[in-house]
Amino acid sequence: MERLNSLLSGQRPDRVPLYHFLLGFCAKNVGYPISSMYSDPEKSFMAQLWTFEQYGIDGGPDFGYASYGGWEFGGEIKFPNGEWEQAPSHGSFAVQSEEDVEKIRLPDVTKSGMLPLAMEFSKLQDKFGTPISIVLGGNFTIAGNICPVETLCRWMIKKPEVAHRLLRFATDHILEVIQYWVDTFGAERVIPNIWEPLSSNQIISPKHFDIFVLPYLKESSEKILDMGIKHIYYHICGEQNLNLPHWAQVPMGDPGIVSIGHQVDLSTAINYFGDKSIIVGNVDPAFIQNGTPQQVYELCKQCIEKAKYAPRGYMLMSGCEVPPMSPPYNMYMMQTAIKDFGWYD
Amino acid sequence: MALMERTQEILKGLYDAVVVYDEVASAELSKAALEEGVDAYDAVRNGLAAGMEKVGQLYANQEYFVPELLLCADALYAGLEILKPHIGVRRQEIRLKIVIGTVEGDIHDIGKNLVKLMFDAAGWIVYDLGKDVKIERFAEEQEKTNSDVVALSALMSTSMLAIPKIIKIIKARNPNVAIMAGGAPLTRDIAKLYGADGYASNAGEAVQEAVSMIARMKWIQAK
């Protein structure tokens, strides 16, 4: 934790930290089923802790997945099973029609969906002294998990008031969950992790981001920081280049933490966020899975050289979850690259 | 039979209806086309489908995104529903066939659905297997339909690992079928490494890539 804590307190650590987005990989590493990373808090925590120790990864375990929001609002999720599945996916959606939107209510954050499991996990974070993260989807991603994202996309143009209503629910829900975590552990300990893949330009335009994402992001961020939380971790997933001027307006703390996918150049990320946030990323996960060790090493070297001196700090990480089937030696290459290029003078 | 000028007006109207995602105009103009004697095939090919080609370009250029594409598709299908039953058999050119699906273990299908509609709009016969499609199903469906192309979609790094297995099974049964792969974690290099004959980075490019792929394979086979 020392390197992460150094960056969070505005100090430069001894070397670039190796940060983590590793779930299914950890399960396979220690011999657990991938589903346990999402269904069994203790197995999930220990699998990550042991794997981080093995690979010299900085930071503490996290618990969450990209389909967050569906189960909590009354839909169903399916835990990963079988050779080709790596994360929980939608079984059914709580909302399919406008009439369904009228019927939804804010979930009980102590009982709904994965939240009881997440709370159990955070109690382990507390016990082991690792950062208390609560992983949530961002406002738009949660809305796009409550109903099928294609439905949300259609409503954005044809029935914007319905889309806004879902986003209102998502925003209020995020704030209730984080307040619950703050009430349980204290604001100083909690670092919310907010993943926002559905707002990428692979789905929506920057114009729609401005209307349907930014106002809600800013609102929830401001209110989260008003709770006394010091740092928010945003995983800005996917192709987000056209959205970056909007993202740059979202307050993330002092410093915030911004992790980016391989689609956004690290130098670009530093331009937009570097003055206020720690930059994290962004080795292409497909290369970690399919590339040679030499390719992974070279990509890591390039990342480190580009971002090492980012004003508020930098942590090397994959651009998104490390695929569970990635060769272990490729993970070792990330550690090796850090040791070869990551030291500060 | 409509006068040339009125035909052009209706075709332009259908084209515009798709591009500006006006479902009502698409349906109304499709009915008007039939009532006024505009050839139904002409209305589909040079009105609706031409509009969808334009939409594909707008999407590839990042002027349109998924919400706009979905609504353009709704406008396209609103017109197609009305016109298709009236396309005379003799006007139906030989149509290429494609089997498409999201691979086993993967339930993401927005990208696959967008690619599907581009092929639909271009006049292909599309056999959509849906999502989380078992590995063997692609080869089975290709054989059953004698499709010219199989298109494989994956959004997750884990599910993309199914792609080389699927390609191997298909090629063992029919080495001449063209296979394309796509989805967020893929690149052209990875698709090639997996044994695919083609790759499209977005729905706007998919049909052109499929046509180029078939031409490349025919050229190789002729050598």
pLDDT digits (tens), chain A, 345 positions: 899 999 999 999 999 999 999 999 999 999 999 999 999 999 999 999 999 999 999 999 999 999 999 999 999 999 998 888 889 999 999 999 999 999 999 999 999 999 999 999 999 999 999 999 999 999 999 999 999 999 999 999 999 999 999 999 999 999 999 999 999 999 999 999 999 999 999 999 999 999 999 999 999 999 999 999 999 999 998 999 999 999 999 999 999 999 999 999 999 999 999 999 999 999 999 999 999 999 999 999 999 999 999 999 999 999 999 999 999 999 999 999 999 999 998
Q: In whole angstroms, what is the distance from residue B107 CA to residue B120 CA?
A: 21
With CB atoms and an 8 Å threshold, state whether A84 touches B161.
yes
**Quick one: pLDDT band at residue B92, thresholds 50, 70, 90?**
low
| Residues B74, B8 share a domain | yes
Q: Which of B59, B66, B132, B136 to mutate to test the interface with A (most CBs of A within 10 A)?
A: B66
| Residues B140, B48 share a domain | no
What is the span of the domain harbouring residue B193? 97-222
pLDDT at site A79: 93
pLDDT at site A149: 94
Q: In whole angstroms, what is the distance from residue A74 CA to residue A83 CA?
A: 28
With CB atoms and an 8 Å threshold, state whether B158 touches A24.
yes
With CB atoms and an 8 Å threshold, state whether A324 touches B159.
no
pLDDT at site A82: 82
Strand partners, A257: A233, A278
Our count of domains for chain B comes to 2
Q: In whole angstroms, what is the distance from residue A337 CA to residue A331 CA?
A: 10
Q: Token pair of B29, please?
A: 């103009």
From the number of C-beta atoms within 10 Å of its C-beta (0-12, 13-18, 19+), residue B118 rates as: buried
Q: Token pair of A93, please?
A: 């959606």
With CB atoms and an 8 Å threshold, state whether B158 touches A205.
no
With CB atoms and an 8 Å threshold, state whether A201 touches B104.
no
pTM for the full predicted model: 0.92
With CB atoms and an 8 Å threshold, state whether B157 touches A285.
yes
Tell me the average pLDDT across B147-169. Answer: 94
**Beta sheet of B198-199, edge-to-edge order:** B125-128, B97-102, B149-153, B178-182, B198-199
pLDDT at site A5: 95
DSSP state of A231: B
Establish, for the pair of chains A and B, how many residue pairs have beta carbons separated by less than 8 Å.
83
* Residue A203 C-alpha, separation from nearest chain B C-alpha, in angstroms: 5
Dihedral angle computed from the Cα positions of residues B10, B12, B16 and B22, in that order, rounded to the nearest 10 degrees:
0
Q: In whole angstroms, what is the distance from residue A93 CA to residue A91 CA?
A: 7
Write the ipTM.
0.94
* Residue A328 C-alpha, separation from nearest chain B C-alpha, in angstroms: 15
Q: In whole angstroms, what is the distance from residue B42 CA to residue B202 CA?
A: 27
| Secondary structure percentages of chain A, helix, strand, coil, to 5 | 50, 15, 35
| Residues B52, B108 share a domain | no
With CB atoms and an 8 Å threshold, state whether A204 touches B106.
no
What is the span of the domain harbouring residue A175? 2-341
* Residue B139 C-alpha, separation from nearest chain A C-alpha, in angstroms: 18
Q: CB-based contact (8 Å) between A90 and chain B?
A: yes
Cα separation values, B64 from A25, B57, B60, Å: 36, 9, 8
| Residues B114, B23 share a domain | no
CATH of the domain at B23: 1.10.1240.10
Closest CB from A90, A203, A324 relative to B158: A324
With CB atoms and an 8 Å threshold, state whether A84 touches B104.
yes
With CB atoms and an 8 Å threshold, state whether A85 touches B158.
yes
With CB atoms and an 8 Å threshold, state whether B157 touches A202.
no
pLDDT at site A246: 98
pLDDT at site B217: 81
pLDDT at site B202: 85
| Residues B141, B45 share a domain | no
> Helices (H) and strands (E) in chain A — how many of each?
16, 8
pLDDT in tens, B19-51: 999 999 999 999 999 999 999 989 998 999 999
Our count of domains for chain A comes to 1
Tell me the average pLDDT across B205-216. Answer: 90
Kindly give the interhelix angle for A149-158 and B66-83, rounded to the nearest 10 degrees.
90
Quickly list H helices, chain A. 2-8, 24-30, 36-39, 41-55, 98-103, 115-128, 139-146, 149-158, 160-185, 206-212, 214-226, 244-247, 266-273, 285-290, 293-307, 328-341
Q: In whole angstroms, what is the distance from residue A27 CA to residue B119 CA?
A: 40
Tell me the average pLDDT across B181-198. Answer: 93
| Residues B215, B111 share a domain | yes
Find residues 22-61 of chain B whose CB sits inside 8 Å of chain A.
none
A contacts of B160 (beta carbons < 8 Å) = 286
- Contact indicator for A260, A240 with CB cutoff of 8 Å: yes
Closest CB from A84, A204, A242 relative to B66: A204
Closest Cα to residue A155, out of A202, A201, A72, A211?
Answer: A211
- Contact indicator for A24, A51 with CB cutoff of 8 Å: no
With CB atoms and an 8 Å threshold, state whether B105 touches A84.
yes
| Residues B80, B155 share a domain | no
Q: Which of A21, A35, A84 to mutate to test the interface with B (most CBs of B within 10 A)?
A: A84
Q: In whole angstroms, what is the distance from residue A109 CA to residue A66 CA?
A: 18
Residue B1 has pLDDT above 90, yes or no: no
| Residues B76, B136 share a domain | no
A contacts of B104 (beta carbons < 8 Å) = 82, 84
pLDDT at site B91: 56
Last residue of one domain, picked from the residues B30, B64, B91:
B91
* Residue A321 C-alpha, separation from nearest chain B C-alpha, in angstroms: 9
Q: Token pair of B95, please?
A: 């149509």
Q: Token pair of A223, please?
A: 């209110």
With CB atoms and an 8 Å threshold, state whether B160 touches A150.
no
CATH of the domain at A44: 3.20.20.210
**Quick one: pLDDT band at residue B123, thresholds 50, 70, 90?**
confident
Closest Cα to residue B115, out of B206, B198, B179, B191?
Answer: B206
Q: In whole angstroms, what is the distance from residue B195 CA to residue A332 CA?
A: 28
| Residues B102, B72 share a domain | no
| Residues B138, B86 share a domain | no
Last residue of one domain, picked from the residues B91, B111, B129:
B91
Q: CB-based contact (8 Å) between A261 and chain B?
A: no
B contacts of A242 (beta carbons < 8 Å) = 62
Find residues 311-330 of chain A whose CB sits inside 8 Å of chain B.
321, 323-325
